[in-house]
Amino acid sequence: MRQNRIKSPRMDQDENRRAFTLIEVLISVSIIGFLLSIMLPSLKSARQQAKLVVCKSNTSMIGRAAATYYAENRDWLCGSAGTSGSVLFTGSDE
């Protein structure tokens, strides 16, 4: 005795489904490669811009640290002692 099964629309879709062909995969990969080649120069300039911002920030922080040191140490700037023992970088004479 053979059962008659009722096919659902989903079963019909599964039967009609096919795999990607090699050509479709190669075209997809080439499109992705082309888009990446367009984006790489802009990513490089963004990376350079980020380095510039970090450098400016570091320079600003060094300036702030020197100004704070100058203000807290009776107007003496940090520096190294000369050969005669005198300080090379000084603030006001007061």
The residue that leads in pLDDT, 89 or 51, is 51
Calculate mean pLDDT across residues 74-91: 58
Q: Which two tokens stand for residue 53?
A: 């911002």
Residue 6 lies in a domain: no
Residue 87 lies in a domain: no
Q: What is the pLDDT of residue 94?
A: 47
Q: What is the pLDDT of residues 20-70, one digit of tens each?
A: 899 999 999 999 999 999 999 888 889 999 999 999 999 999 999 988 888
Residue 73 confidence (pLDDT) above 50 = yes
Number of domains composing the chain: 1
- Please give the residue range of the domain that contains residue 61: 48-79
